[in-house]
A and B are shown apart, each in its own frame.
Chain A
Amino acid sequence: MATDMTLLIGAKGGAGGETVDDSTLEEINVERMLVGFLRALISEQFGEQSGRYESEIGGHA
C-alpha cells in the first residue's frame, strides 16, 4: 500500500456489491436518458439540487 496514503480496502471488500451492467444500448432508453441529462444539467446550473435525490428515495415505496 502507498506509504503516504493508507487505504481502507480490506477483508470486507465488495460488501456493497457494485452493479454489473450487461444491458445493451438497445435496451436503454437513450433519448429519455439524454433529456434527463440535459434537464439535470440545467437545474444544477441554477443550484436547484438542494435536498437532492430525496424526491427519488422513497424507502420500500
Chain B
Amino acid sequence: MVIQLTRLGDTLQSLMALRAAKQLYPNLEIHFVAREGFADAAKRIPWIEKVVTFPSEKILAPILNETGSQSQALSELARWISPLVGSQWDFIVNWSYSESSSYLTGILPARVKLGFSRAVGNPSLANSTTPLVATDGWSHYVQGVIQGGIRQNIHLTDILTTQLLTALQIHVGEPSDAGDAPVTSKSFFHLKTEAASELALGSRWRDPSRKWIAFQLGAGKEDKTWDPDHWATLAEKILQNHPEYGIVLMGGEKDRWREEALRHALGDSDVTSGRNIISLVGKSNFDLWASVISRCQWLFSCDTAAVHLASVLGTRVMNLSIGPARLNETGPYGNGHYVLSAQHGCPACSQAGTAEGHVCRARLRPEIVYGTWSFAVEMSSISFNTSGNPSARRAKNLNRHFERLGIRNNSDTGARIFRSRIRSTTDGGGVVYEPADDHPMDLNEWTSTVMGHIARAWYCGWVPPVGSELTRVRITTELIQKLRELDESSQLLSKICEEANRTALILNRRSARLRSDKVMRIDDREELNELGRRLRDLDLLIERLGKTHVPLQAFAQMSKVLMHNLQGEKLANLGKESANCYRQLAEGVKILRDWLKHTLQLARPVAIAPANPGLIAVEGAR
C-alpha cells in the first residue's frame, strides 16, 4: 500500500519509483492511495492493482465552509478508513512525508512501514501521546535535511526508489531479474484519449513530420512562474528560426490570462498564427495532457508536474527553475534534459520572499532559454568525438553557440545552465545535473554535492570517489576562503561527535549493569545524570556549530532527528542507539572533511613545466 497524499508532481515521481520496483519484483501487488484530484495518473497505470482515492474535498469542505461539524468529518474519515484497516498489509509505504499522512500510516496494520508514521500510544491512558516517527534512514534524511531546507543533490525519485528497493531486498530477498527494461516510456500510461480531442488540434498536429514543443505556462505557485512577455519572445524566436516546429500552449483554467497576455505580446503574423501555435489552456484533462506531451519533442516548463510527466513519457525538458524550486530534487529525470536556473543571489529565493521579490524570474532571459534549446537541438543532430571530458567540451561549444547568436550570459548575474545525466553506479548512481556552462561553484552548490555524497555513504553505499564531481576550473577564491573558515569548525565538530559517541557508550555500559532503570544506588544515579548532562552539552555544541556554518547545519538537524527517533525503552538501549547516531554523524563529518581537503588541494597553484626549458634559462640569464 503506497500512500501519496500530496500533489501530482510527487505522485508522478512515486509512480516512476514503483515502476522500477515492479520490474524488479513482478509479483508485487500495488495499491495506491491518492487525493481525488490527483488520482488520474495512477488510475491509468495497468500494473497498479487498485487506486484508493482520498475524498479530501468531501471530508474537509463542510468544515472549511462551516456547514458541517468536526464530529461529522470524523465519522466520514472513519468510514473511509474502515475497509483499509480490515486488511493486513505487507508494506505500507508513506511517500507523502506530511503530518496528516503519518496518522494514516500509524493506523493501518502492516508488517513493515516506511516513511512517516506515528508511535503507538497507550489507549488506556487519557494523556498518552502518539509522536511522529520517521521509520527508516531515508525518512530521517528527508525530515532532517530536505524538509529542514538544507541543500542536497539527490533527486526525490532516487530517494523513493532506493528506500523501497532496500526494504524489498531485506524483507523479500534479491530480485529475480536484472530489470533491464527502461522505466520511462511513451506507453507508461494506458490513456483514454478520445480521437476527437486530438482531432480538434488540427491537421498540422496529425502531420507526422511536424515537430512540436509544449509550453506549460503556469505553475502551482505564482513565484515559480515566468512572465507571459518572456514566453512570447521565446515563442517568436523559435517559430522564426525553426519553421519545422509548432507550439502547444498548456495550462489550467487559471492560466487563461497568461495565454491572452502571450498572444497579445506576440501580435498577429504569419509566423505566430493559429497554424503554428495551438492552445489547450483550460481545455485538457489528464489523458489529453499526457497524450500531447508524449507527442511533443520538447516541453518547456517552470517547476510543475508537467516536468515529471514529460520525464515519465521520455519527452525532453527545458526546465526553467525559478522561484523557490530545488532543481536537484525535483528537476526532470533522465538523460539530456536541460535546467536553467537564475536563483543564485536572488534574495527572495534564499529567504522565501514574495513573487515580486524574485529577481530570478526576470534574470532568466528568453534569449538565454532559446540559445540553450537551439544548442541542445544542434547537439542532438550531430555526432561527435566522445573521447575526453564531455562536460568541458559541451561548455566550450555552448559558449561558441551563444557568441554566434550574439547572446551574452554572465553566469553570476544571468542564468546557470545544467544538463541531466544518469550516472553509473560506480559514480554514485541516480540522476545528476552537470553544469553545461562551467559557472563557478558557490558554497551552496559545494554543500549540496557533499551532502549527497554523505547520504549515499549513510544509506546505500554507492559512493563515488571524493571530489569526482569537482573540476578545478569551477573553484573560486571566494569558495576557498569560505572553506578555509570551515576547516577548524569541522575539525571541532568531528571531535564533539567522537566524544558524544564515547559518552553514550559509557552510558550504555553503566545502565546495562543496573537491575532497574528507576531504582538504583545514589552514586549510580549521579553518574548517569552526569553522563546525560554531558551529552546534552555536546548536543548544544553541535547545534551552535550548525548555526555558525551553513555546511554544518545538516549535522545539527540530523542529530535532532536521529535522537528523536531512538528506539527502545531501556536506558541501556537508548545509550547504545545514541552512540550509533553519533558514530553516523562522525562518519558524515569525516566525508565532509575529506571533501574540504580535496577541494583545497585541487585549488592549489600547480607548477607548469616550461615548454622550452633552455629558452627560459637563457632569458633568466639576461
Contact = CB atoms under 8 A, between A and B. Distances in A.
Contacts of A30: 107
Contacts of B137: 15-18
A3 B532 CA distance: 50
Interface of B: 16, 20, 23-24, 56, 59-60, 63-64, 70, 73-74, 77-78, 81, 85, 98-100, 102-104, 106-107, 109-114, 117-118, 120-123, 128, 130-133, 135-140, 143, 147, 154, 157-159, 161-162, 165-167, 169-170, 178-184, 333-335, 422-425, 428-431, 456-462, 532, 535-536, 539, 559-561, 563-564, 578
A40 B98 CA distance: 9
A6 B425 contact: yes
A25 to B, nearest CB: 6
A57 B560 contact: yes
Contacts of A29: 120-123, 128, 130
Nearest to A49: B99
Contacts of A19: 112-114, 117, 133, 135-136
Nearest to A41: B100
A33 B117 CA distance: 11
Q: Please indicate which of the listed interface residues A18, A41, A56 has the most CB atoms of chain B within 10 Å of its own CB.
A: A18
Contact of A14 (B103, B111, B170, B431): B170
Contacts of A43: 99
Contact of B99 (A21, A23, A34, A52): A52
10 contacts: A4-B183, A9-B166, A14-B169, A16-B136, A16-B459, A18-B135, A38-B70, A40-B99, A59-B560, A60-B532
Given A1-B180, A59-B564, 17 more contacts: A3-B182, A5-B334, A6-B429, A7-B161, A8-B460, A9-B169, A10-B462, A14-B170, A16-B139, A18-B167, A21-B111, A32-B128, A34-B103, A38-B59, A40-B100, A53-B132, A56-B132
Interface string A21-61: 11111111110111111101111110001001100111110
A32 B131 CA distance: 11
Shortest beta-carbon contacts, A-B, top 7: A16-B137, A12-B461, A18-B136, A37-B103, A40-B100, A19-B135, A8-B162
A17 B103 CA distance: 20
A1 B179 contact: yes
B103 A57 contact: no
Interface residues of A, number: 51
Nearest to B422: A6
A3 to B, nearest CB: 5
Query: Mostly helix, strand, loop or mixed at chain B's interface?
Result: helix
B23 A2 contact: yes
Contacts of B539: 59-60
Contacts of A42: 60, 63-64
A13 B561 CA distance: 20
B140 A5 contact: no
B107 A52 contact: no
B121 A60 contact: no
B563 A60 contact: yes
Contact of A9 (B99, B128, B182, B460): B460
Contacts of B535: 60
A15 B85 CA distance: 29
B429 to A, nearest CB: 5
Nearest to B132: A56
